[in-house]
Amino acid sequence: MTKKINEMITKEGPFQSKTEQFLQMMFSKRYNNIEDQIDAYGTESKARFYQESLVDEGLWTAPAMVASYVMLNYPLTTEIADVGSGTGTVGKIFKAGNYLQVDGYDLIPTAAEEGRAYYKSVRIHNIIKDPLPKQYDVITASGILTKGHVDATAAPMLAKSLKPGGELVAHHPLFDDYDYQEEAGWTKQTYFEVKHRQKFVGYIYNGKNVQCELVVYKVKH
């Protein structure tokens, strides 16, 4: 297991845990780059390490924040697409809350397979290139609209994938030295208006609590 983990991470800077090493690896990737995402999550061991190191240790609170917002504001019959569904961190919460009209979409087949049990259906999909095959009331995006993953290039396809008045429930990191929302184009996109913002502690990185921001985007069409 140690050898496989070492192949996943970079050696830059002091780290206090394997979890922090994994986060460093994730944040070093290029935006919207399929090869980089496959490198990060594209084997069964890497997908499982993500689940075990961040989610199961309780260090990754963002999926619960995203799911909780939806469950507090939408009925059980809401049609939901979880984009970047991965190992099912959001889908698991929805299923436990009896939200059963949830489809998962992910770029990485191995990660998607790990989370299949928590969704009504799971499909391999690249949201940068194409809208989802149907429109939804709500799209959740936990862990993908962040540094080294997906930027606002995805906004047009996300908007096309929502019903009129639909909402994108996501979160972004709040780094001291990097303004993701500005650098990734979310402050300039014209497809959504911001309905709600809420700051929270998302995870621990380099020994410090990292603030994140839950952002609810309402589609303009």
pLDDT, tens digit (0-9, with 9 covering 90-100), for 97-138: 999 999 999 988 887 888 899 999 999 999 999 999 999 999
On the question of pLDDT at 9 being above 60, the answer is no
**Residues 57-100 pLDDT 10s:** 556 788 999 999 999 999 999 999 999 998 898 999 999 999 99
Checking if the pLDDT of 215 tops 70, the result is: yes
- pLDDT on residue 155: 97
More confident residue, 3 or 34: 34
Strand order in the sheet with 162-173: 121-124, 102-106, 80-83, 136-141, 162-173, 208-219, 192-205
* All residues at 6 or more sequence positions from 3 whose CB lies less than 8 Å from its CB, including other chains: none
pLDDT, residue 41, reads 53
For residue 116, is it left (φ>0), alpha (ψ between -120 and 50) or beta?
A: alpha
pLDDT at position 11 over 50: no
Q: Given this model, what pLDDT does residue 72 score?
A: 97
Domain residue ranges in the chain: 2-55, 62-219
Percent over 70 (pLDDT), the chain? 71
From the options 3.30.230.70, 3.40.50.150, 3.40.190.290, 1.10.8.60, give the CATH code of 62-219: 3.40.50.150
140/45: higher pLDDT? 140
pLDDT at 110: 81
Mean pLDDT of the chain: 81
pLDDT band with cut points at 50, 70 and 90 for residue 21: low
Distance CA(192)–CA(162), nearest Å, equals 11
**Distance (Å, rounded) from C-alpha 91 to C-alpha 97?**
10
Higher pLDDT, 49 or 104: 104
